[in-house]
Amino acid sequence: MSRSKRKQKNKNVTSIAIKINAISVRKLFFKFLIINIALMAILTVFWCLNAEKTFYGELVETAERSFVFYPIETSKYTVVWDNGKTMVKEAKDFLYMLRQTVILLGIVELVFLLEEIIFGTAKVRRILKPLNEMAETASRLSNMTFDEEKFQNLEDAISKISPVISDERISIGDNELQGLEDAINKLLDRMRESYRQQARFVSDASHELRTPISVIQGYANMLDRWGKNDESVLEESITAIKCESENMKNLVEQLLFLARGVNGKTQLTIGRFSLNDMMKEVLEESRMIDKNHTYNYIDSEDISILGDVALLKQTARILVENAAKYTEKDGFITLRIGINDKGEAYFSIQDTGIGIDEKDVAHIFERFFRADTARVRKDGGTGLGLSIAKWIVDSHRGYFSILSRKEIGTRITVFLPQKL
């Protein structure tokens, strides 16, 4: 766009802004005027009623009333009752006070009007700026000449790019189609990232299922060869098959839970409950199941929150189980609840375990994530627990805070908003 056209457009925008601001100032003036008139009328009525009630003791509808406003020095309010009793009250002091009140109010209103007159146009220009930019963009698009060859080149470039296995990007070197190229490239990036995540998930899930299937198959073969006559082999094989079948069942259930959650088929049952009671239940369950660690609980005032108590309890259990897995025997695990400075309720699980590498913290909620150098799995697990916990907390519009130091321990805190 040429400089002269740009200046003309700026002048047009300024002219429109001035007109809109003038209308706004005019409306504001009339609002102030109506407010002042209404205020004077209300104050006058109250003054008259108070004077009449003070003099006569009550209000009589049939009384004759008159008010002389001008000149102020001789202004008076007169009331004549049916019994002939007459009240004449001077209104000079009241009218002077009313005039002073209106003058002070008018000065304040004048300041607001002057501010709107001086700065209002600039405010309107800022409001109109996005609309002006949209108009300029639409103007450029409408003036763009249709060149079939350009679009054919873009179509050919798109057809040559794989949306899943290639990192190539579209670039035909045309400034007029640059915005369209950028949009398509961003879409391709999202598609490729989604494909990579899907491929990694399928690979990890296959790997997790391969191990128990191989174990079951191995023991089945051993049963076929020696288990028919050897009771020790029979008992060992049955125990192993039952254990691996349970692991596979847990893995499949967790995969289905995540799949239903992503597809929106898992509905939250929202209700108000005591966070204190929920964490005490998790504490007692943990102490009963796990005798190898010392569990502590730091309470607070009674905290009542909205949420799905079953799912949030599942989240707390997952965090406690993880803490137990990566904490040596006789280590300490502390459960804590409270409310932060933002008014958000929270619960945290802190252990004295082996900790998490700083570079791994951002990935611990990924499905099947393994940080073998930081948190070695000693007691099995599917690698899906923290992914499930994150989905639950995200569904409650909450968030995690993670603090971890190698060989010192880890604290994971779940913050929950007051309103869902």
Q: Which domains does the chain have, with CATH numbers?
A: 3-143 (no CATH), 271-416 (3.30.565.10)
Would you give per-residue pLDDT tens digits along the chain (420 residues)?
455 555 665 666 677 778 887 888 888 888 888 988 888 888 888 888 888 888 888 887 788 888 887 788 888 888 888 877 888 888 888 888 888 888 888 888 888 888 888 887 778 777 777 777 776 666 665 655 555 666 676 677 677 676 666 667 777 666 656 677 777 778 878 877 777 767 666 666 666 677 678 878 887 888 777 766 777 778 888 888 888 787 777 777 777 777 777 666 678 889 999 999 999 999 999 999 899 999 999 987 889 999 999 899 999 998 999 999 999 999 999 999 999 998 899 999 999 999 988 888 888 888 777 654 444 444 556 677 888 889 899 999 999 999 999 889 999 999 998 765
Quote the pLDDT of residue 263: 65
Q: Strands 345-351 and 409-416, how do they pair?
A: antiparallel
Q: Which residues of 232-251 are buried (b: 16+ CB within 10 A; e: fewer)?
A: ebeeebeebbeebeebbeeb
Q: What is the pLDDT of residue 242?
A: 83
CA–CA gap between residue 202 and residue 206 (Å, rounded): 6
- For position 229, what pLDDT does the model report? 74
Give me the pLDDT at residue 331, please: 94
pLDDT at 377: 43
**This prediction's pTM:** 0.50
**How far is it, in rounded angstroms, from Cα 241 to Cα 213?**
9
Per-residue confidence (pLDDT) for residue 175, from 0 to 100: 64
DSSP per-residue codes, 277-340: HHHHHHHHHHHHH--SSEEEEE--S--EEEE-HHHHHHHHHHHHHHHHHTS-TT-EEEEEEEE-
Residue 273: phi, psi to the nearest 5? Answer: -150, 170
Report the pLDDT value the prediction gives residue 373, as an integer from 0 to 100: 41
**Tokens (6 digits) for 31:** 């609002």
Backbone angles phi, psi at 226, to 5 degrees: -125, -15
H or E element in which residue 86 lies: strand 86-90
CB neighbours of residue 333 within 10 Å? 24
DSSP secondary structure letter of residue 406: T
State the pLDDT at residue 70: 79
pLDDT at position 144 is 55
Confirm if 121 and 14 have CB atoms less than 8 A apart.
yes
- Find all residues with CB under 8 Å of 78, minimum gap 6, and list them: 65, 66, 67, 68, 86, 87, 88, 89
